[in-house]
Amino acid sequence: MHRSRTPTTSTQSSQIARVLEESRRNLDRVEPADLAAEMAAGALVVDTRSAAHRDAEGALPGAIVIERTVLEWRVDPTSPDRIPEADDPERRVIVVCSDGYSSSLAAETLQRLGLRYATDLVGGYRAWSAWVHR
């Protein structure tokens, strides 16, 4: 398996760093310590990591697995291809990736589809796992 290095946003000169910053402006991002409470309150947690990453890093209990390539079709309440849990545009949706980068972009896209409470997990699965195993 090819493992790419973790993306960095330390250099604000890159276009993707600017896009990432813009995508996070309207996100009420969830801290790893708050994820369980969000789930208990009814949030739909969506793990967008690839199967290879889930195998290597572990599962996120309570999350629904939807790989990034089909996320919008499965979570858009107006999509005929949505999952049953995605029937309420007012439901909080928390997107989780490995490190909290692609999930920010995905959450912003979900907001553009009308899921105004869509957001992501700060630091992704790895930050949540570190918090749980501290």
The answer for 22, left when phi > 0, alpha when psi is -120 to 50, beta otherwise, is: alpha
Under 8 Å between Cβ of 83 and 75: yes
Residue 21 scores a pLDDT above 50 = yes
**Within 13 A of 125's CA, how many CA atoms are on the CB side?**
23
Span 3-19, pLDDT tens digits: 444 555 555 689 999 99
45 forms beta bridges with 94
Query: 100 pLDDT exceeds 80?
Result: yes
SS3 39: helix
Task: Examine the pLDDT at 66 and tell me if it is beyond 80.
Answer: yes
Looking at residue 29, what DSSP letter applies?
A: P
d(CA 11, CA 52): 28
What domains, with CATH codes, occur in the chain?
15-132 (3.40.250.10)
Query: Where would I find the H helices in 41-123?
Result: 51-57, 71-75, 102-112
Distance separating alpha carbons of residues 130 and 54, to the nearest angstrom: 15
Of 105, 82, 111, 109, whose CA–CA distance to 124 is shortest?
A: 105
The predicted structure's pLDDT at residue 48: 98
Q: Can you tell me which residue has the tokens 């199967």?
A: 51
Q: What is the pLDDT of residue 2?
A: 39
Task: Record the pTM.
Answer: 0.90
**10, HSE (Cβ side, Cα atoms, 13 Å):** 3
